[in-house]
Chains A and B, each alone.
Chain A
Amino acid sequence: MTLSIAGVAARPKSAPPVQARKFKLPLRWISPVALVLLWQLASSTGVLSPDKLASPVTVAQSAGELIADGQLGEAFAVSITRVLFGFLIGGVIGVVLGLASGLSRWGETLLDPPVQMLRTLPHLGLIPLFILWFGIGEEPKLALVAAGVAFPLYLNLHAGIRQTDPGLVEAARVLGYSRVERVVHVVLPSAVPQTLVGLRIALGTAWLSLIVGEQINADAGLGFLINNAREFLRTDVVVVGLVVYALLGLTTDALVRLLERRVLRWQKR
């Protein structure tokens, strides 16, 4: 960033940000830690009943038990498999359609209008139809995740391709690139940043779809673990499930960031 006002520029550049960074992290942790302490205090004094919300210590203990007896690992494996396959299906659909409508005029004329209309549907509202079409097994869960992934990927890939700088395409033409080379070296790389934005949205939606999808008659997975716990008033297990969902979301987001840093290393930083 080069925001500068007269006079400020004369100061040594490096000193203030370094200091700020040193103190920033611990300071930002004050309120979250305080909230957890407050939560524990409310539980210990009986203000917060375990039926409403278990204490942090109980949650931690339950997490330990669930890990130790393998329940959490099993549920985790089932859920992550659902997301993975749903994501693959939706990803292939989104990318194929996005490429077709981004790279060909006919593709855009035929594909873009229906996709743009369908995307205004909240895809979670499709659950009743999916249950009627696919039953209550794994299929509606995968379909829900796939639908959540396909749209953001399509929209951002399509937009990314359309945003290609015409000046670069022109230069490539005069310099003798073949059509395939123009697509591979000019059009697709310029769509990558926008597509990565789409990827991040798609992954976020994938987790959201999974959580909702796992409410449909699940007999395994994190959703099942949580629903089952609800029936026995085990708020501690519910919270453990929620924490795992959150950690999974954070992890995939970090993975995309890593991918971005790798793929977009040509960008000036």
Chain B
Amino acid sequence: MAKAVSVRGLHKAFGARTVLDGIDLEVEPGEFVALLGRSGCGKSTLLRILAGLDRDVEGTAQVPGTVSIAFQQPRLLPWRKVWKNISLGLHRPDGRAVALKALEEVRLTDHADAWPLTLSGGEAQRVSLARALVREPDVLLLDEPFGALDALTRLAMHHLVEDLWARHKPAVLLVTHDVDEALLLADRILVLDEGRIVATHHVDQPRPRRRASVVEQRVRVLADLGVEVEEAA
């Protein structure tokens, strides 16, 4: 079976600064992968390359299927109604019906005719997710989509993403610096540091996961990030 994502020997430099230093990565269809690392480790750059937003690279980055993305900021068009934001670019005659169905999945049907600026941060981010998923992508790229949300909204969003992923089964690449988020959601966690993948963790716990079930792994992942903790279970 073809890989959803295959990256080989990927190098990327901005001037003299190397951002990605030989990345090899394969993602299976339907696999949930988290890219974990500190700010500036190159994880967002990798995602931008996979999204086709940056083509000036060495090495290969192949994404054979359709790609969709949700960013840290929702990046909705403020001058188009919520449903239009979802259906634009789909080129389908039944755009509104498709958008309404997508909004139902993120439980925002009531806001279909609202202006994006009237939404809360969490609501806007849910619209952004719906907009990404309505394209039925083979690969869904999530660039710290919960980073700007408050802690409670973030928890709700984790459940929502897990739910949507289980239903649509795209391969997911989630960029985050939140260890707990990665442990709760991902099949595989890749730790990036200075443009390299320095560690890989497979998370085999059944879903939905509780924090308690991943405590030991949490310590090991944190150690790979250079954070030493001793946590009682």
Q: Which residues of A contact B (CB under 8 A)?
A: 167-168, 170-178, 181, 185-186, 189-190, 192, 265-268
Contacts and interface: CB of A to CB of B under 8 A. Distances in A.
Interface in B76-103: 77-80, 88-91
B89 A168 contact: no
Interface in B56-73: 67-69, 71, 73
Nearest to A173: B53
A177 to B, nearest CB: 4
24 contacts: A167-B73, A170-B53, A170-B75, A171-B71, A172-B89, A173-B52, A174-B67, A174-B68, A174-B69, A175-B88, A175-B132, A176-B91, A181-B89, A185-B77, A185-B80, A189-B77, A189-B79, A192-B79, A265-B115, A266-B115, A266-B116, A267-B78, A267-B117, A268-B115
Contacts of B71: 167, 171
A174 B51 contact: yes
Nearest to A190: B79
B55 to A, nearest CB: 12
B135 interface: yes
Q: Report whether over half of chain A's contact residues are helix, strand or loop; otherwise say mixed.
A: helix
A189 B85 CA distance: 13
Interface residues of B, number: 24
B75 A177 contact: no
A268 B117 contact: yes
Contacts of B73: 167
Nearest to A171: B75
B126 interface: no
Contacts of A268: 115, 117-118
Given A266-B116, A268-B118, 12 more contacts: A168-B77, A171-B69, A173-B52, A174-B51, A175-B135, A185-B88, A189-B79, A192-B79, A266-B79, A266-B117, A267-B78, A268-B117
Nearest to A265: B115
A171 B68 CA distance: 9
Interface in B134-149: 135
A175 B131 contact: yes
B117 A175 contact: no
Contacts of B80: 185, 189, 266
Nearest to B90: A176
Contact of B89 (A167, A176, A192, A265): A176
Contacts of B53: 170, 173-174
Contacts of B52: 173-174
B162 to A, nearest CB: 23
A265 B117 CA distance: 11
A242 B79 CA distance: 40
A189 B81 CA distance: 13
